[in-house]
Amino acid sequence: MKRIYLTILTLLVLLLGMQEAQAGRGKKEPHKGYRFTLFIYGNTDSVMYLGNYYAGGTYSFDTARISPKGMFVFEDKEAVLKPGLYFFVNPAGTYVEFAVYNNEKLDFHFDTEEPGWQSNMIVKGSKENKLLFDFHKTNRAIYRAIDSAKAAMTDSAAFADFKRKQFLRMDSIKYAYIDNNPNSLLAMLMNATRDPDVPTTDKEGKKLSDKERWEYFMEHYFDHSRLDDDALIRTPMTVFKQRLDRYLDQYLKNAPPDIIIKYIDPLIDKARPSKENFRYLVHTLAEKYLQSNVMSYDEVYVHLVKRYIEPGLCEWMSPSTVDMNVKRADKWEKLLIGKPAPQLIMKDDKGMWHDLYTPQNKYTLLVFWSPTCGHCKTIIPDLYKRYAKYRDKCDIATYAILSEPDDATRPKWQEFIKNNNLKWLNIDGGEANIDWHEVYDIETTPQIYLLDKDKKILAKKLNAESFEEVIKYLEKIE
């Protein structure tokens, strides 16, 4: 029996070892070092640069001067180039792109001539780039045919029909290329810019509503993008960055936080196998919603921290950066729209104690401000006028706190109150039941909240104008 158990255990170990080996085959370590030679017949430049894309930006990282044989040689025996689209560019900005992909050994020779580097390019040492430039040459031939027809044809309708057929031919060539070379970088680039084909009916033939079609479009927007491939981030901005920006800033514009979270979580999760894309998405989205002026979008930031940063999934972040984000998210989580405002008990400008929760008004305007703050000097008088306009009609209480309660600021505070006739509850923040700077995360002023009768947060990040807009909306005032 013991022998049988050991035999089974041995087989399991061997099986697991085979599975690990098979899993590793698809992810070979990239080759160390590169050597690219570029010869351009008719060239007059003495220097050439080598660069790459990253999230739509372009970055030069190597320089070559022309050799006695008229070639530019880029070589680094230690560097490891990550997959993506790279380019040669001269000082005048003329450039040609090439691929680093499929773990090819990076010893490529490029031979072309002036003018038209791309259309004249011959590549040795790279199957990936031979496919790339052959495709470009085929496309260029179609464009030349269109240009020739435009010059030769006098019938505009006939030319339009010719042009249409040529573009259809181009599409046919494109999709044939993708089918025949599905694992090439060019196929990945062309697929990444495709929008989903949105059906008009469901599986039972029932017509889809506009809302259902929009939801399908959003759920399948990145279906053709290889978010799990590190090369995606090293492409021109039209391939990934602009599509991501359009998704967030156009299709998700003004969407509530829960809808944004619904669509960005699958996007990030799909990118998890790619450290490059996962890092870019988490960083970009966290920063976007951290910096947003939309009052409810801090909920998206808090969600991202709780789901990806706090659990330790962001290995690139230093412990101090993780800790900073987690502490901020913990504070912000208690200040989200719909959460009860933390209790405040402080003295007014006459020395009388007041707590935030005692007044039973329908609304409470909670304000943190200082007379030494330039924005406050403009916003606070305007805010007070608008508050006074709706105070009685809409039953609004106030709790206006001096955010710099020191001996140097108090006299300026008292003077500002008097000069601007601020007849609301003026609170001195010097003594309090809590460290309200910390709890309310008061790093800049003014900070303006609107609370409901139960002191739940209705709105925040307000100014004078938006306060009035919110009140009018809540009270249905035209």
Nearest C-alpha neighbor of 299 from the set 253, 333, 254, 345: 333
Q: pLDDT for 270-282, tens place per residue?
A: 999 999 999 999 9
Flag whether 15 is in a domain: no
Q: pLDDT for 85-95, tens place per residue?
A: 999 999 999 99
Q: Are residues 83 and 175 in the same domain?
A: yes
Q: What is the mean pLDDT of the chain?
A: 92
For residue 102, the SS3 value is coil
Please identify which residue in the block is written with the tokens 């220097």: 47
Q: pLDDT for 115-133, tens place per residue?
A: 889 989 999 999 999 999 9
Q: Are residues 310 and 351 in the same domain?
A: no
Q: What value does the mean pLDDT take over residues 313-336?
A: 96
Nearest C-alpha neighbor of 259 from the set 292, 214, 203: 214
Output the six-digit token pair for 181: 């070379």
Higher local confidence (pLDDT), 186 or 3: 186
Flag whether 12 is in a domain: no
Q: Are residues 285 and 373 in the same domain?
A: no
Q: Are residues 389 and 451 in the same domain?
A: yes
Q: pLDDT for 346-360, tens place per residue?
A: 999 999 999 999 999
Which domain, by its residues, includes 47?
Answer: 31-153+160-192
Residues in the chain: 478
CA separation for the pair 52, 98 (Å, rounded): 10
Q: Sorting pLDDT into bands at 50, 70 and 90, what band is 384? A: very high
For the ranges 148-157, 260-269, 339-348, the lowest mean pLDDT is seen at: 148-157
| pLDDT exceeds 50 at position 180 | yes
Q: What value does the mean pLDDT take over residues 335-344?
A: 97
Flag whether 25 is in a domain: no
Q: What is the reported pLDDT for 30?
A: 75
pLDDT over 90 percentage in the chain: 83
Q: pLDDT for 241-264, tens place per residue?
A: 999 999 999 999 999 999 999 999
| pLDDT exceeds 50 at position 393 | yes
Q: pLDDT for 422-456, tens place per residue?
A: 999 999 999 999 999 999 999 999 999 999 999 99
The residue from 333, 366, 381 where one domain ends is 333
Whether the bond between 446 and the residue before it is cis, its omega within 30 degrees of 0, is yes
Q: Are residues 45 and 179 in the same domain?
A: yes
Flag whether 318 is in a domain: yes
Q: Are residues 295 and 402 in the same domain?
A: no
3-state SS of 150-211 is: HHHCCCHHHHHHHHHHHHHHHHHHHHHHHHHCCCCHHHHHHHHCCCCCCCCECCCCCECCHH
Residue type, position 364, single letter: T
Q: Which CATH number goes with the domain that contains 368?
A: 3.40.30.10
Flag whether 104 is in a domain: yes
Q: Sorting pLDDT into bands at 50, 70 and 90, what band is 28? A: low
| pLDDT exceeds 50 at position 12 | no
Q: What is the reported pLDDT for 155?
A: 86
Q: Are residues 103 and 183 in the same domain?
A: yes
Q: What value does the mean pLDDT take over residues 42-47?
A: 94
Flag whether 466 is in a domain: yes
Flag whether 339 is in a domain: no
Flag whether 303 is in a domain: yes
Q: Are residues 147 and 220 in the same domain?
A: no
Q: Are residues 138 and 39 in the same domain?
A: yes
Q: Are residues 323 and 379 in the same domain?
A: no
Q: Sorting pLDDT into bands at 50, 70 and 90, what band is 1? A: very low
Domain count, the chain: 3
Q: pTM (2 decimals)? A: 0.86
Q: Are residues 323 and 386 in the same domain?
A: no
The residue from 283, 312, 333 where one domain ends is 333
Q: What is the reported pLDDT for 27?
A: 54
Q: Sorting pLDDT into bands at 50, 70 and 90, what band is 24? A: very low
Q: Are residues 431 and 296 in the same domain?
A: no
| pLDDT exceeds 60 at position 25 | no
Q: Sorting pLDDT into bands at 50, 70 and 90, what band is 55? A: very high
Q: pLDDT for 301-312, tens place per residue?
A: 999 999 999 999
Q: Sorting pLDDT into bands at 50, 70 and 90, what band is 150? A: confident
Q: pLDDT for 160-176, tens place per residue?
A: 888 999 889 988 988 99
Instruction: Answer for the pair 368, 474: CB distance below 8 angstroms, yes or no.
Output: no
Q: What is the reported pLDDT for 140?
A: 83
| pLDDT exceeds 80 at position 22 | no
